[in-house]
């Protein structure tokens, strides 16, 4: 199969709307025996759900083409190059990036997962090493909005499969751009309080722990969304634990005092 035809044969999926956000509950006071939390984070924890709206993304057509397996864009047919440039412009115009996040205090971390001050528990053996020394976690959900995902569906349904594939790739580049902007903003917010953030984790992903590969189960999406009570949120959770809009992402960062050395910390 030629590279040109390969782009027409990538399978597209779409999601449907699920439930609305859960009601809001205040966080309880720090429990005895919990990791010491810097008092400077108290206002962040008490603030409830916070919002961050990234700037409009920049989408490079060459990156879209590389996502489709074109290692050298100079050797791609001009019609496909033009289509990639058109889809980059559409993605930039239709993207509506939005992030909801919340600080939660950590009660304890063990080999089974992390328990939070408000009683929730997230389950993965990866947390014990990747959140070592963390006194807070920051669950988040991020979306580039429904119009961009719907534009992909509309192209596919009209038979413009190549354009649909290229626009979906551009959409995921928008998600990556919004994630980077949020990570940078969160790092600054935490740094101002004398802390640092860990690398991002997400439900449904696998992590290397020693010689083992361990998962954070996708089903923990339900717990993660519950930690963001008090919305509204830019993302809805489906019964399958997938998200709507499709071009969305969920995850979690750990927060620890900057004085603690940790190989999982993100570079400055």
Classify residue 10 by burial, with Cβ atoms within 10 Å: 0-12, 13-18, 19+.
middle
Selection from 154, 134, 150, 160 nearest residue 262 by Cα: 134
Domains of the chain: 33-257 (3.40.109.40)
Q: What is the pLDDT along the chain (268 residues), one digit of tens a residue?
A: 444 433 333 323 332 222 222 222 222 333 344 444 555 555 566 679 999 999 999 999 999 999 999 989 889 999 999 999 999 999 999 999 999 999 999 999 999 999 999 999 999 999 999 999 999 999 999 999 999 999 999 999 999 999 999 999 999 999 999 999 999 999 999 999 899 999 999 999 999 999 999 999 999 999 999 999 987 999 999 999 999 999 999 999 999 998 754 445 444 4
CA 151 to chain centre: 21
User: Mind giving me the DSSP string for 6-69?
Assistant: HGGG---------PPPPPP-PPPPPPTTPPP--GGGHHHHHT-SEEE-PPPP---HHHHHHHTT
3-state secondary structure of 153: helix
Beta bridge partners of 114: 109, 122
Q: CA-to-CA distance for 248 and 151, rounded, in angstroms?
A: 15
Rounded to two decimals, the pTM is 0.80
User: Mind giving me the DSSP string for 77-120?
Assistant: -HHHHHHHHHHHHHHHHH---EEEE--EEEEEEETTEEEETTS-
């Amino acid at each position: 199969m030629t590279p040109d035809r390969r782009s027409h044969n990538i399978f597209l999926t779409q999601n449907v709307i699920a439930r609305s956000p859960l009601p809001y509950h205040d966080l309880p006071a720090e429990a005895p025996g919990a990791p010491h939390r810097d008092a400077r984070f108290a206002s962040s924890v008490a603030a409830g759900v916070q919002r961050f709206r990234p700037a409009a993304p920049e989408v490079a057509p060459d990156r879209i083409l590389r996502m489709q397996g074109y290692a050298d864009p100079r050797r791609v047919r001009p019609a496909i190059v033009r289509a990639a440039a058109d889809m980059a412009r559409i993605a930039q115009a239709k993207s509506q990036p939005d992030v909801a996040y919340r600080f939660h205090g950590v009660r304890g971390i063990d080999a089974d997962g992390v328990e939070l001050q408000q009683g929730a528990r997230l389950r993965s053996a990866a947390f014990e090493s990747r959140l070592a020394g963390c006194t807070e976690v920051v669950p988040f959900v991020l979306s580039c909005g429904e119009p961009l995902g719907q534009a992909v569906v509309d192209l596919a349904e009209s038979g413009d499969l190549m354009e649909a594939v290229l626009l979906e790739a551009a959409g995921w580049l928008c998600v990556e751009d919004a994630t980077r902007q949020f990570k940078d903003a969160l790092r600054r917010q935490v740094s101002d309080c004398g802390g640092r953030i860990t690398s991002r984790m997400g439900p449904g992903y696998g992590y290397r722990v020693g010689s083992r590969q361990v998962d954070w189960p996708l089903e923990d999406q339900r717990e993660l969304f519950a930690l963001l009570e008090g919305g509204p949120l830019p993302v809805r959770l489906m019964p399958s634990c997938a998200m709507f809009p499709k071009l969305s992402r969920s995850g979690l960062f750990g927060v620890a005092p900057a004085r603690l050395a940790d190989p999982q910390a993100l570079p400055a």
